[in-house]
Structure 1
C-alpha cells in the first residue's frame, strides 16, 4: 500500500490526517532534519503503530538504507521495552524503583549502526507514541545536546503523531 493508497483508505472524518500525512514527510517540513532522519523517524513511528498498512505505506514511501530500516526496527522494539519499564518507574508512587538498576539490555542505543542523533530522534517519536514522559525527556535532552532545534524535535513528534492517528482511523474503520 503506497502513501496515496493509505490516504485514500482514510475515512472522511480523518481529512486532517490525510492532509497532514503529506506535509510531515515533505522536504519543506523537515526543520533542519536530514532526509535520513525523517525517513527513520517515519519508519520507527510506523513500526510503533503496529499497523500493517501504515508500515507498508511508509516503507514504500521513504528512501531508506537497510541500516536505517534496521535502526528504525530496533528503536521501535527497544522503546517498546523501555517505555513500559520507565513509564512504570515514573508513575509508581514508590520512589525506590527509580534507584534500582533497570537490568535491561539496551546496547543498541549506544551503537545503533547509524547516526546516534537520528536514532535518538526515532526513539523520541516512538516514546511519544507509547506515552513515556521519562523517556521523552531523556531523548529530547540528547537530541538538543546533539544540535537539533526545538523545531526539529517538534517535527519528529508531528511525524509520530500523524502516523499514530492514521493507524487509529484505520483501526476504527476496521472495527465498525
Structure 2
C-alpha cells in the first residue's frame, strides 16, 4: 500500500533525482517519500531473504534426502556384501563336507576291498587247509592200507 504509493510516484523510466529536478515532487514531502521508499526496499529485501531462506531449506532438504539415500545404498551394499560372504562361507563349508564325504567313501571302499580280500584269503586258506587235511588223511589211509597188505602178506608167507 505505501509501497504502491511510492512506486506510483516514481515511474520506472525516471529516478527520484529527475523528479526533484523537474519540480514534480514537493521537497516538503521528501521525508515521507524516503520513508515509503525505505519501506518498499525493506519489504522487497525481506521477500528476497525469505525466498533465499526457502531455497536454502529446499537445498538442505535435498541434501538430507541425498545423504539418506546414499546411506541406504551404502547399507544395502554392506548387506549384500554380508550375504555374499555368507554364501561364500556356506559354499566353502559344503565343499568341505563334500570332500570329507568323498574321503569317508574312499576309506569305506578301501575297507570293503580289504574285507573282501581278507575273506577271499581266509576262504582260500580254508580251501588249502582242507586240501592239506584231505591229502594227509588220504596218505594216512594209503599208508594204513599198505601196512595192512604188508602185514597180510607176512601172514600169508608164514
Sort the TM-score into its range (normalised by shorter chain).
Answer: under 0.3
Larger Rg: 2
More helix by proportion, 1 or 2? 2
Q: TM-score, normalized by length of structure 1? A: 0.25
